[in-house]
Structure 1
Amino acid sequence: MQEEQDEIWEKKTSALFRFIHQVISTLYHKCEVAENCLHLFLLAGQSADECGFEEIAYEFFVEAFTIYEESISESRAQYQAITCIIGALQQTRVFSIDNYDTLITKAALHSSKLLKKPDQCRGVYLSSHLWWATDRALIESDLPENEKSLFRDGKRALECLQKALKIADSCMDPVTNVELFVEILNRYIYYFEKGNEAVTVKYLNGLIDLINTNLGNMDNPDQHPPTPNSSSLVEHDGPVSDYVRRHFRATLLHLQNRKEQSLRTDAPGPKYDELDLGDI
């Protein structure tokens, strides 16, 4: 009896998802609302993922990529769309390794081809999280069986960060350059604290030294508006160079606190004693 009910539910739910696919596709082809349709396909893909329909979820995400490739051309819209795709993919759990790798590799590739260098950098370092899944539930016992073993590839995540660093280094504006370095440093710290063994203290020390070296290039801060060559604008109080310095200092203070706690407690976990923070 239970098997019959499950079979009926599966057939009805599959039919509902097919109807949803048809409605969104019709909307996309009949109306000029490509961005809305992309978001609808992502929502449908996430719903199919939660219901355990891998093939249907995969098709929804493929449709979202198709809309991105065919109809999203403006730089800000591209950046916003690809970050939404990355966020949606990061929450999925139903895919096989092959299907998931195909989708996240495509997302990372599109991120690296965004029109503006800062957008490329941010898109690529956000893509790193696709290779480092995190728990969606607060309590381990609440996790479904397929989430007990999370997909994590520390080396691929590190590769994304290193690629983002190269893109940031190619930015000509000195303020944008250092701003991106600080953002990437925070990603390195995240993976270091989460136990990604590929991200070691040497990467943190190297990037801290690089940022300190480049801080002196941020002269005449008033002449640098808030990252004009980026689609991911954030409003800051005062010159962006001041914000970047504050952000960097706050990051170093966080590391200093972690280092002091680690030395006091000698608790298991990331080792901060080799961090070279200089004078904060």
Structure 2
Amino acid sequence: MRAFDELRKLEIFFKEETSRGCSIVELYELVQHAGNILPRLYLLCTVGSVYIKSKEAPAKDVLKDLVEMCRGIQHPLRGLFLRSYLSQVSRDKLPDIGSEYEGDADTVMDAVEFVLQNFTEMNKLWVRMQHQVGKNLHVLSQIEGVDLEMYKEIVLPRVLEQVVNCKDELAQYYLMDCIIQVFPDEYHLQTLETLLNACPQLQSSVDVKTVLARLMERLSNYAASGAEVIEAQDNMPIAGVVTLYASLLTFTLQVHPDRLDYVDQILGACVKKLSGREKLDDSKATKQIVALLSAPLDKYKDIDTALKLSNYPRVMEYLNDETKKEMANVIIQNIMNNKTCISTAEKVDALFELIKGLIRDLDEDLRDEVLDEDFKEEQNSVARLIQMLQSDDPEEMLKIIHTVRKHILTGGPKRLPYTVPPLIFSSLKLVRRLEDRDESVSGDEASTTPKKIFQIVTQTIEALSSIPVPELALGLYLQCAEAANNCDLEPVAYEFFTQAYILYEEEITDSKTQVTSIHLIIGTLQRMHVFGVENRDALTHKATGLVLSQYVISQCSFRVLLCLKRALRIANAVQQMANATRGRSGSVVLLIEILNKYLYFYEKGVSQITVESIQSLIELIRSEMQGDNASSDPAADAFLASTLRYIQFQKDKGGAVGEKYKLIMVGVATNPEKGAKKHHSTAHPLVSTYTT
């Protein structure tokens, strides 16, 4: 320091000499002839300072010359002192914004290049002599022209490159700390990703945790300095804002994992910044919100902890529907991977609010997801989740069942077939637990009884009737009947069987499904021991009737088809005779009669009567009625209109029969345009096929 003070006096002397007429150019060349290199370079730096002030040469040329000449000293201690002096003597002569040395030839970039080059050379010396390299970084931070963009694109990458390449643990630790301490907080906020990416590249022995803790402390103090700090940056892109909070949350989880209040505070600050915005469509911002919400799950590996964060669901509200599904999948997978058990109704309610993107329709215009494999996998995940909801307390478990039921019934017809069965089986599992419960807490005194659970189960299965999936509902009724049998609840078991029979008779029309359903009914009935003689006889008699009915239908189906084919053959003969007499009304009425027989047996589940054959018959009838030589017949018109109204009625009524009639109505107009005469053909494909 004393030597630098003396050199400062020498600099003043040189300046006075130039004012008396001494040429600064000659003086700059003269000092380069000094005998020893170390004094020569100190003199050169001193005269170079005066040279820049004289403005007889561009500042960048002199600075470049000086920083290059100083390479002549490679002794670490002497080289560091020399370059430290160069940094000091040149700091007020850099071509910064507003500086007197800024001009057409000299720019801020020249100043940055000079300081970075001096820093690079000092860093090389620092590897051998770790001392005072950070002074260059301090100088860099004070250059007015180094704005955020330049810092982000040029300064920080170059500095980090040197830090990583030096391979010295002490130097890396010192320099990372220097970067954190000397540059502004807002620069760190905008370059967190770059800074963090450098950390894994440091030597394994570097105390990165302490470095990050200091960075966290700076950012925390910056955020705590006033609520307006972040809000004031109106021009910051929303993706940048969310990235900031995601990075800040990651730091907090690493440094203060036990402080959930810090985590919740950061989430709350993010909500405040996002308030007033619609759901995010920015893909980068959305990705960062997913990262923000995933961080606590990855850290604690426990959704129970995340449910304690009051601002967690508030952040999720800013995701679009598709990303809510993605986040819900992340939450469910976390629960599955960590085998987390959610044991209270309150937590279950909070959890299902978080994953509502998977359990209810959030958008009326969603694509048809029934055949979507991703949709099926999502719903299977929800089904597996329901099995994870358990409480040792029966009363609390019943509350959980109520809560789950409340949420899944909002799911609509596509989701209920996936979510209702696991809820039913969870309920029956609770019934089995109650069977083993101490008799002293059973009966009317208990707040949770099998009867109450069976009431809930019945109401839940009834929700499937609107979809409809009768075969699924029938199977669930039989499962419940068997559970009621084990509880010795004869009336309850009988009611479940009654509901199964009603479903079979009114909703199940497909012959194959009927056979499977009868097997299920008989198999379950065989295992029942709770029924008295009267109830068992009634149920057995009913099952026997169903078996006989199914047998008759299966045996008669072939004969039915033969009869219908013969009827069409006769109708075709009548048609030929009508052609000869120029009248067709009788043959058309006969065809409509045959159509009604087709519909009857189709409705009864005769598999040989197909949708295509019915549609072809309707087409044939219309062709006959609109042919060139057809005469008007009000009776035939009314008969056909009545038949088509019946088809439409069955379609609108819904249920399994309605679904069958929907297929018939595809491509069949109930009110065909009149007057559009069609060319009559006696060789219609339907008749041709059946008369062959």
Q: How does the TM-score come out when normalised to structure 1?
A: 0.51
Matched, 1:79 2:310: no
Residues 64/157 of structure 1: CA separation in 2 closer, same or farther (3 Å cut):
closer
Cα deviation code 1:225-252 (max 9, x no counterpart):
xxxxxxxxxxxxxxxx945449x83883
Change (3 A) 1:258 1:269: same
Q: Tell me, what secondary structure is at the counterpart of 1:117?
A: coil
Q: d(CA) in 1 for partners of 2:324 and 2:235?
A: 24
Is the aligned partner of 1:164 residue 2:385? yes
Contact 1:192 1:199 in 2 (8 A): yes
d(CA) in 1 for partners of 2:288 and 2:389?
Answer: 34
Task: Say yes or no: does 1:249 pair with 2:430.
Answer: no
CA shift in 2, pair 1:252/1:66, >3 Å: same
Point out the more displaced range, 60-69 or 29-38.
29-38
1:39-58 correspondence to structure 2 within 5 Å: 39-43=264-268, 44=270, 47=274, 50=278, 52=280, 53-58=282-287
Inter-CA distance 119–209: structure 2 relative to 1 (3 Å threshold):
closer
The one of 407, 411, 435 aligned to 1:216: 435
Unaligned runs of 5+ in 2: 1-232, 481-490, 496-692
Map of 2:330 onto structure 1: 106
Q: For residues 183-212 of structure 1, what are the alpha-carbon distances to aligned partners after superposition, in whole Å with 9 as ceiling and x for unaligned?
A: 246525643454143424972655554443
Matching of residue 131 in structure 1 with residue 333 in structure 2: no
Amino acid at match of 1:159: N
Q: By how many angstroms is 1:79 displaced?
A: 0.3
C-alpha distance 25-185 of structure 1, shift in aligned 2 (>3 A): closer
Separation in structure 2 between the aligned mates of residue 205 and residue 68 of structure 1, nearest angstrom: 29
- AA aligned to 1:94 is N
Bigger CA radius of gyration: 2
Letter of the aligned partner of 2:289 in structure 1?
F
**1: distance between equivalents of 2:292 and 2:420?**
41
Match in the other structure for 1:65: 294
Contact 2:341 2:389 in 1 (8 A): yes
Q: TM-score, normalised by structure 2?
A: 0.25
Structure 1 CA distance, aligned partners of 2:288 and 2:469?
44
Q: 1:130 to 1:38 in 2, by over 3 A?
A: farther
1:158–1:198 contact (8 Å) kept in structure 2 = yes
Distance 1:255 1:148, change over 3 A: same
Q: Which residue of 2 aligns with 1:197?
A: 414
Distance in 2 (CA, whole Å) between partners of 1:86 and 1:100 is: 13
Aligned match of 2:320: 94
Shift of 1:41: 4.9
SS at match of 1:108: helix
Partner secondary structure for residue 50 of structure 1: coil
Match of 1:35 in 2: 260
Q: What secondary structure, in the 3-state scheme, does the structure 1 residue paired with 2:329 have?
A: helix
What residue identity is the alignment partner of 2:294?
F
Taking the aligned partners of 1:29 and 1:82, their CA distance within structure 2 comes to 19
Partner AA of 1:212 in structure 2: V
For residue 36 of structure 1, report the CA deviation from its aligned partner. 3.0
Larger RCO: 1 or 2 (CA < 8 Å, sep 6+): 1
**What corresponds to 2:156 in structure 1?**
none
Q: How does 1:223-234 map to 2 (within 5 A)?
A: none
Aligned-residue offset at 1:38: 3.3
CA drift at 1:163: 1.6
The whole-number CA distance in structure 2 between the counterparts of 1:28 and 1:258 is 45
**How much does 1:81 deviate?**
0.7
Distance 1:183 1:69 in 2: 26
**1:92–1:217 distance in 2 versus 1, CA, 3 Å:** farther
Give, in angstroms, the shift of residue 108 of structure 1. 1.2
Instruction: Report how many aligned residue pairs link the two structures.
Output: 225
> Aligned equivalents of 2:424 and 2:267: distance in 1?
38
Any gaps of 5 or more consecutive residues in structure 1? Answer: 1-8, 136-146, 223-240, 263-267
Do 1:129 and 1:157's aligned partners in 2 also have CA atoms closer than 8 Å? no
Contact 1:128/1:158 (<8 A) preserved: no
Q: How far, CA to CA, are the matches of 1:243 and 1:29 in structure 2? A: 46
